[in-house]
A and B are shown apart, each in its own frame.
Chain A
């Protein structure tokens, strides 16, 4: 090495070069990190937008479904809701009148029970309630033949979709012979439940 080089190496501090290199590298790393963070945030936003788009499609589809099925839903709801029995002394949205306070008033019976009563069944309201949305009725008759009883039950089951029979017992009266050809009124006992408002 000649003397000028030696002197120059002594005069210029090489640490300056290292500081420059480190500074440039730091700057590049910083920029890289910023770009990475920005890309990640964009990707998150994109994903979020995708979810919002899906939610929007779902909400619109649901609204369209409701709009299209409005008449059908209302009609079906009205039909089924009519079948829900009101507890005795309970009126739609009015305070009970003093006249209708009698829980044994047959006028307050649901139509299904009225139909059984009109067909000659004895009806008693049973205190046994399963769940908090049931009214239970015990029915008894000894004057209805099988061929009248089955259509009667079918008619009531069709008219009230929430009519559930818990117990049904049919017995031939002992006074009637086993293979009698005469029309026979059966001893019938039914326990049925109706869906009721709480």
Chain B
């Protein structure tokens, strides 16, 4: 039965007020409005932060550009420093042959004499420099040959070998030893073969390490 005394407009308004779906929609709209406040606050915060970060970025960019300009004044010096650093392995690892000879001289005991000595680079390592490659000896072979005084102590060569090895760069090792028998009227011969690494650790030779150019 149709209501006769209520207008259509009032009926629709009543529906908007009373119908559960429209109530839900109303609730969602009110909730949305509340959330708008939070969202607006967040948006303002983020925009301010974004602007501040962007301006910081611009300032930092120009600071870096001027710092790079200042550094460009030292471009030549930087090139020299890079070259110094590339020479580092040569400066630190080069085995000073004179120090080896001096150590051999100190290690020779009475009763032995050296008649032949050879120090030979047996392995090389490439050092890359800005203009090319320099080959640096990595391992040396030391050969010491000589004579033993007649009637001298039989353990003399052994002691010399130990003493010599102790004076050589660290990680050196003996590769061979040959002791010839004494003949009538002729002294006994000996030969020692040592391997010496050119590793920059020359404390036993009485040398202190070379300062690395990297420390500059």
Contacts and interface: CB of A to CB of B under 8 A. Distances in A.
Interface of A: 3-5, 7-9, 11-12, 14, 16-18, 20-21, 24-25, 27-28, 31-32, 34-35, 38-39, 41-42, 45-46, 48-49, 52-53, 55-56, 59-60, 62-63, 66-67, 69-70, 72-74, 76-77, 80, 130-134, 146, 149-151, 153-154, 157, 161-172, 178-179, 193, 195, 197-198
Nearest 7 CB-CB pairings of A with B: A12-B15, A154-B98, A8-B15, A130-B135, A17-B21, A17-B25, A52-B60
A18 B21 contact: yes
Contacts of B71: 59, 62-63, 66
A28 to B, nearest CB: 6
Given A154-B98, A161-B94, 20 more contacts: A7-B3, A8-B15, A11-B15, A12-B12, A17-B19, A20-B25, A20-B29, A21-B24, A38-B50, A56-B63, A56-B64, A69-B81, A73-B80, A150-B98, A157-B96, A157-B98, A167-B120, A193-B135, A195-B134, A197-B131
A16 B94 CA distance: 90
A73 B121 CA distance: 32
Given A45-B53, A49-B56, A168 B113 contact: no
Contacts of A170: 101, 116-118
B32 A28 contact: yes
Given A4-B3, A28-B32, A164-B137, A45 B57 contact: yes
A178 B70 contact: no
A66 B137 CA distance: 32
8 contacts: A14-B19, A14-B22, A28-B35, A73-B77, A133-B134, A150-B105, A151-B98, A195-B90
Interface of B: 1-3, 6, 8, 11-12, 14-16, 18-19, 21-22, 24-25, 28-29, 31-32, 35-36, 39, 42-43, 46-47, 49-50, 53-54, 56-57, 60-61, 63-64, 67-68, 70-71, 74, 77-78, 80-81, 83-84, 87, 90-91, 94-99, 101-102, 105, 113-121, 124, 126, 129, 131-137, 146-147, 149, 187, 213, 216
Contacts of B133: 131-133
B161 to A, nearest CB: 19
Given A39-B46, A56-B60, A178-B147, A66 B53 contact: no
Task: Classify the secondary structure of A's interface with B.
Answer: helix
B74 A27 contact: no
B138 to A, nearest CB: 11
A166 B3 contact: no
Contact of B120 (A134, A150, A166): A166
A186 B42 CA distance: 91
Contacts of A197: 131
B115 A172 contact: yes
Among A4, A62, A149, the one with the most B-chain Cβ atoms within 10 Å of its Cβ is A4
Contacts of B97: 153, 157, 165, 168
A145 B119 CA distance: 17
B84 A38 contact: no
Contacts of A8: 11-12, 14-15, 18-19
